[in-house]
Chains A and B, each alone.
Chain A
Amino acid sequence: MKEQIEAIQTEALAQITAAADERSLDDARVAVLGKKGSLTLVAVGIKDVPKEDKAAVGQLLNAARTAITAALEEKQLALREIADRAALAGIDVTLPARQLHTGSLHPLTLIRDEAIRILRRMGFALADGPEIEDEFHCFDALNTPTDHPARNEKDTFYFDSGKLLRTHTSSVQIRTMETQTPPIRIIAPGSAYRRDEIDATHLSVFNQLEGLYIGTDVSLPDLKGTLEYFLRELFGTQTEVRFRPHFFPFTEPSFEIDVKLTVKGQAPKWIEVAGCGMVDPAVFEAINTSRKDNAFDPEKITGFAFGMGLDRLAMIRWGIKDIRLLIENDARFLKQFA
């Protein structure tokens, strides 16, 4: 019996060694250790072994089983390793990616959102108003004389109804003051319209961002601090900002704001980015008349307003040379913002 066990072990180990895959390895295991396997059958025959030999044969049997099991495990690990290696062999990590569509936000959305995020950190809330406006909200209440050039039919789009397309988002100032009382701290992004022929620097429909802060002690230092902070957040903390006196009918004093920027390959230069000023008391008077109260008493209430062209900011930010790129929606342009 001893010889028989040794023969089984030798043959099983040979079969295991010869196994080329997990399947033939499993065949080898079943042939020896399965229900009808050769070693299993020998183990069944142990009951016929003389009592004094049982221990020795049992030991031999256990040793054979241990050796075969170990060989099986070792061979299985080896075979899996080979199979795993084969499975990975054909994979070329340097092949290009499987592609997904990548979308993008419009540059105007990006710059507007950036501006809004900065101004919201400063506690401004959003406001809006209609784009088809009346003369009161677009001009009269904003202290613009009836014969002001901007009210000309050559410069402004009118409708047969007498209404017009707002020429600036400043009309939202009026809309807001009609329905809210001080303190007011709003920003209003939106479209504005002027009868300009479309060319590399003009669109007849363009985008602005308006701001208004009204309270009991709003002053030039507030205007200056707010806009300096905003522009430095937008263009970089070291950006130089200057305020040039200017004229707008609805603010007094009024300023235009320049930032010193470096266009690639050029010396730094002052670039106009916004207009601003302290709300003209005449605007408050017009609001009070419209509201039929004195909520905006020009003796007590002051405020500042500012406005900027978002298309222009986008052009400055990304070096866009032709404003028409912003409305042509050429996928080759849009994809650059993905």
Chain B
Amino acid sequence: MNVSLNWLATHLDLSGKSIKEIDDLFTFAGIEVEGIVSKGIASDKIVVAQIMEVIQHPNADRLKVTQVDCGEARLRQIVCGARNYAVGDKVPCALPGAELPGGFIIGETIMRKVESKGMLCAASEIGLPAGEDGLLLLPRNSEIGKPVKQLFDSDTLLELEVTPNRPDLLSHRGMARELATLLKTPLLPLEIAIRETAAAKEIRIEAADACPLYTAIRISGVTVKESPAWLKQRLESIGLRPINNIVDVTNYVLHELGQPLHAFDAAKIAGNLIVRHANDGETFLALDESKHTLTPDDLLISDESGSPLALAGVMGGLTSGVSETTTDILLESAYFTPQGIRRTSRRTSLSSDSSYRFERGVDPAGVVSASCLAVQLILELAGGTAEATTQAAGEAPVVVKSVTLDAQKLDQLMGGSIALADAEEILTRLGLTKLADGTWNVPSFRADLQRHIDLVEEIARVHGLANVPSRLQGTFVPASAVDAAYDADMVLRRRLAALGLHECQTIKLISDAQVADTLPLRPMQDGDVIRVRLPLSEDHAVMRPSIVPGLVASAARNVRQQAKSLRFFEMGRVFRNAGGGKAKDQESETLALLLSGSAQPTGWSQAERTADLYDLKAILSALLGDRKITFAPKDRPGFTLASDIKVDDQTLGIFARLTPARERELDFSTPVFVAELDLGKLRKLLIGISHVEDLPQFPGSSRDAAMELPLATPNAQIEAIIAKLAEPLLVSAECFDVFTDPTGQKIAADSKSVAYRFHYREPTRTLKTEEIDTAHQKVLEALTKGLGVKFR
């Protein structure tokens, strides 16, 4: 809300208060100051100075050295660059300490070895509209030494954010009341002659639920014309555009008192005014020329002809308003219930200064007085005669009740930082009165105060948290399962960073097209994707069922930035339905990895090598420490080389390469390997060992064997045969060489030679050579039988 400081000052004495003090007052009242715009000159230290002498600066061609009279005992020497003045002229002089717009503070300086004790100013330098080049020449008769701000109009516009619970602040009177409370200064009285009200002759309320009180008063013989300067200035000071004297008065009263008013051209009303719900499908043409189709929940001001004159509390109609030819008006002031106005405003997307206030709740007790102030001003500015009494239909609703303040609970919550008497004094200042039964009567403009805690809030707000002590203590609580998961995740994150991967954060809403890149543990079925109803764009339309699409998009963006090595990971939630939508919105957490480009940084000692799938396997192995990881190939649509990642026969996740076609489509020049792992399962594998194993006391021995087998035979088969044999003396078997020769010269092109090293050991004694040979022979026989391999 925009507030003019000059306007505010008509309600309370603000003299001697700096903008900074007022800013702090609002801020600590819970009213956020979003902007301060000063018009005119703000500083008192910019004064009228007469130029008494001008000489050329000894060290600078473009500067002059002046002696000026600022009404002080001695002349002031000021270095100046302007040329548009003569001795005897009067100009603004910013004295040391003056703050110019933009926050620059004038000091005493030395310019090219000549002292300068202030600054002679141009119009734009002191916050006035820019005029001619050079210094601002002031009228000859200006009093020397007088603050220049007194010669010009000045005001400060405060842009304030009022929280939704405080509609009482949505006017200058309301803001002034709040400041007066905080400053403990009296509020200046309002000069409104309250007119008598009488039962309405020309109003019929058919929707008392939405409009408990409706008043109107007829003013005849008005002259619609331009408003006087003071009124236009008031409205312009808060950014409103003056229209004509009648409309301007209604706007002025709204911003003065917070009560929206509406003036109808009486000639356009057929018979009585009727406050009624709209008919279903009824159309309304608003004064901003927008057309709306209404529902029975919307409230209309209508007449005997049935035509809608205004959308109650929101906006007037295009034809029923005041125009230059209007002579008689009917001035509306009413109380509409907040919920109804809120719904209508939302449904029609129409909002106005009126609806803004009605939907937050106006003061029911202010309905009549606002009307009276408007009548007073209209008669003054537009002439005419008003009816003797204001017509009123319905009754002002009771929006407040008396509230109990629980002293003990107050003391507990405030930590004993405020005495009850001081707390009660705050309530009294806020306009509450203590009743005989000890409860508090709340003024009608504070409908937000309904409960004990609401009173406490007011006390805490006015008392200030600065006056509440700080207590440093708290109860002990056990760690949760979420704590354990978090710790495991941080271990994984640090390991991955140590392995040279960068952690990413991608957006959890992805596009339909990106769903093709998903790599969830359980393949997606139709109906598994969760779609938001009103996406901001098609790029962010579905909840990600997998993190891989986000990483692929991030990697593609990095490729466009010429990144050579792409090593990324991300951990977080994924979302899906399951079983074709049978199980709704399941959330789980996964870890995704992406690897592409250079396998290692290149340099004087390192040759370029492109990362391959074994590099990603290396990262997975390092991540899981000593755990045995197996990879079981399994087709995944949209990917190649896909495998399940297994530990102890449990599927942890999936590993794959994008199809070469998709890689080309995204401008990758190197293969892109991705993996996605179930974090829930991964975390469990991170639980450390329960006991250490004894170190071997006896030496072991190893035997190497190279076998020739078909190129297509997977290594997993060799491992499976060795595992199945379960030779007790065999402690490990590792593949240390794979040899192929596509030319077929050293080994048939469709064959490969795979070399293994087998380690044998018996924990209780040293093995005899024959025992090792026997065990090794069993292993070789099993492989020969199982794979038909030849040993080389």
The answer to whether A and B interact is yes
Hey, which bits of chain A sit against chain B, CB under 8 A?
95-106, 108-109, 113, 116, 120, 122-128, 130-132, 147, 152-154, 157-161, 163, 165, 183-186, 191, 193, 195, 197-198, 203-205, 213, 215, 217, 219-222, 224-226, 228-229, 242-247, 252-256, 278, 280-281, 302, 326-332, 334-335, 338
**Inter-chain contacts of B505 with A (CB < 8 A):** 106, 108, 326-327, 329
Does A219 lie within 8 Å of B413, measured CB to CB?
Answer: yes
Please determine whether B465 and A126 come into contact, CB atoms closer than 8 angstroms.
Answer: no
Cα(A161)–Cα(B585), bound, Å: 10
B600 CB–A CB distance under 8 Å: yes
Known: A103-B503, A253-B456, A329-B554. A220 touches B477 (CB 8 A): no
**Given the known A-B contacts A220-B415, A220-B465, are A132 and B543 also in contact in the complex, defined by CB atoms under 8 Å?**
yes
Residues of A with C-beta under 8 A to B457: 245, 252-254
Contact of B453 among A130, A281, A330 (CB under 8 A): A281
Bound-state Cα–Cα, A224 to B619, Å: 46
Q: How far is A334 from B554 in the complex, measured between Cα atoms in Å?
A: 12
10 A-B pairs besides A123-B477, A215-B475, A331-B502 with CB distance below 8 A are A104-B503, A105-B493, A106-B505, A195-B536, A213-B474, A245-B457, A278-B413, A327-B505, A328-B557, A331-B566
B interface, how many residues as a size bin?
A: 35 or more
State A195–B563 Cα separation when bound (angstroms): 32
Q: CB distance B460 to A245 under 8 Å?
A: yes
Instruction: Report B-chain residues with C-beta under 8 Å of the C-beta of A327.
Output: 505-507
Cβ–Cβ contact B533 & A159, under 8 A: yes
Measured between beta carbons, the chain A residues less than 8 angstroms from B17 are none
Which residues from chain B contact A158 at a C-beta distance below 8 Å? 532-534
The answer to whether A302 and B477 have CB atoms under 8 Å apart is no
What distance in Å separates the Cβ of A283 from its nearest Cβ neighbour in chain B?
Answer: 11
Q: List B509-568 residues whose CB lies under 8 Å from chain A.
A: 509, 530-536, 540, 543, 554, 557-558, 561, 563, 565-568
Residues on B with C-beta less than 8 A from A256 are: 32
From B340, which residue of chain A is reached at the shortest CB distance?
A147
Q: A338 CA to B468 CA in the complex, in Å? A: 42
Question: Which of A132, A204, A226 interacts with B530 by CB under 8 Å?
Answer: A132
Interface membership of B684, Cβ < 8 A:
no
B605 contact from A98, A123, A126, A255, Cβ within 8 A: A98
| Given A101-B565, A331-B563, A331-B566: A255 in contact with B465 (beta carbons within 8 A) | yes
Q: Are B412 and A217 in contact (CB under 8 A)?
A: yes
A160 to B461 Cα, complex, angstroms? 42
Inter-chain contacts of A220 with B (CB < 8 A)? 413-415, 417, 460, 465, 468
Q: Decide if A96 touches B603 in the complex (CB within 8 Å).
A: yes
Given A95-B604, A116-B486, A215-B475, A334 and B503 contact (CB-CB distance below 8 Å): yes
The 0/1 profile, CB within 8 Å of A marked 1, for residues 384-426 of chain B is 0000000000000000000000000000111101000000000
Residue B472 CB within 8 A of the other chain:
yes
Of A228, A332, A335, the contact of B470 (CB 8 Å cutoff): A228
- Chain A residues closer than 8 Å to B16, beta-carbon distance: none
Asked whether any CB of chain A lies closer than 8 Å to the CB of B339, the reply is: yes
Contact (Cβ within 8 A) A225 B493: no
Pair A253/B475 contact, Cβ less than 8 Å: no
CA–CA, A256 and B33, complex, Å: 13
Interface stretch (choices B159-167, B200-208, B226-234, B301-309): B159-167
Query: B496 interface residue, CB < 8 Å from A?
Result: yes
User: Complex: how many Å from CA A205 to CA B544?
Assistant: 12
Decide yes or no: A131 and B603 within 8 Å by CB, A105-B503, A109-B503, A125-B480 being known contacts: no
CB atoms of A101 and B460 under 8 A apart: no
Q: How far is the CA of A116 from the CA of B483 in the complex (A)?
A: 10
Give every chain B residue within 8 A of A120 (Cβ-Cβ): 483
Q: Is the interface of A mostly helix, strand, loop or mixed?
A: mixed
Question: Nearest Cβ in chain B — how far from A25, in angstroms?
Answer: 34
B453→A152 contact, CB < 8 A: no
A-B contact pairs, 14 of them (CB 8 A): A106-B505, A126-B486, A127-B480, A191-B572, A220-B468, A222-B473, A225-B470, A226-B474, A245-B29, A245-B460, A246-B163, A281-B453, A330-B557, A332-B563
* A280 with B470: CB separation less than 8 A: no
A154 to B166, CA, bound (A): 24
- Within the complex, the shortest CB–CB distance from B355 to chain A, in Å, comes to 13
* Residue contact B474 to A222, C-beta cutoff 8 Å: yes
A128 CA to B483 CA, complexed, in Å: 10
* Complex contact B471–A222 (CB within 8 A): yes
Please tell me if B726 contacts chain A, counting CB pairs below 8 Å: no
- Please judge, given known A-B contacts A132-B587, A222-B474, A253-B456, whether A247 and B166 are in contact too, CB under 8 Å: yes
Q: Contact: A219 with B415, CB < 8 Å? A: yes
CA distance A126 to B533 in the complex (A): 31
Which residues of A sit under 8 angstroms from B29, Cβ to Cβ? 245
A136 → B minimal CB distance (Å): 15
A204–B283 Cα distance when bound, in Å, is 36
By beta carbon, the residue of chain A nearest B572 is A191
Set of chain B residues within 8 Å of A191, measured between Cβ atoms: 508, 572-573
B503, chain A: closest CB distance, angstroms: 4
CB distance from B286 to the nearest CB of A (A): 20
Contact residues, B485-505 vs A (CB, 8 A) = 486, 490, 493-494, 496-505
Question: A245 touching B601 by the CB < 8 A rule?
Answer: no
B55 beta carbon closer than 8 Å to chain A: no
Q: Check B27 for interface membership: any CB of A closer than 8 A.
A: yes
Tell me which of A96, A126, A185, A335 contacts B483 (CB under 8 A): A126
A221 touches B469 (CB 8 A): yes
**How many whole Å from B580's CB to the nearest CB in chain A?**
15
Residues of B close to A222: CB separation below 8 A? 415, 471, 473-474
Q: What CA separation (Å) do A207 and B604 show in the bound complex?
A: 43
Interface contact B533-A185, CB-CB below 8 Å: no
Chain A residues with Cβ below 8 Å from B631 are: none
Within B555-595, the residues touching A (CB, 8 Å) are 557-558, 561, 563, 565-568, 572-573, 575, 584-585, 587
Which chain A residues lie closer than 8 Å to B609 at the CB level? none
CB neighbours (8 Å) of A195 from chain B are: 534, 536
Chain B residues positioned under 8 Å from A100 (CB to CB): 500, 600-601
B601 contact set on A, CB distance < 8 A: 99-101
- How far apart are the CA atoms of A269 and B602 in the complex, in Å? 46
Contacts A101-B601, A185-B477, A245-B29: A160 and B533 contacting too (C-beta < 8 A)? yes
Q: In the bound complex, what is the Cα–Cα distance between A117 and B109 (angstroms)?
A: 50
Is the beta-carbon distance between B477 and A242 smaller than 8 angstroms?
Answer: no
Interface membership of B479, Cβ < 8 A = yes
For the complex, is B476 an interface residue (Cβ under 8 Å from A)? yes
**Chain B 717-742 interface 0/1 with A at a Cβ cutoff of 8 Å (1 = within):** 00000000000000000000000000
CB distance from B418 to the nearest CB of A (A): 10
With CB as the reference atom, state the residue of chain A lying closest to B406.
A299
Q: Chain B residues near A132 (CB, 8 Å)?
A: 530, 543, 575, 585, 587
**Cβ contacts under 8 Å, A281 to chain B:** 451, 453
Candidate in A126, A158, A185, A331 with the most chain B CB atoms within 10 angstroms:
A331
Beyond A185-B477, A330-B558, is A106–B509 a contact (Cβ under 8 Å)?
A: no
A159 to B575, CA, bound (A): 13
Kindly report which residue of chain A lies nearest to residue B503, judged by CB atoms. A106
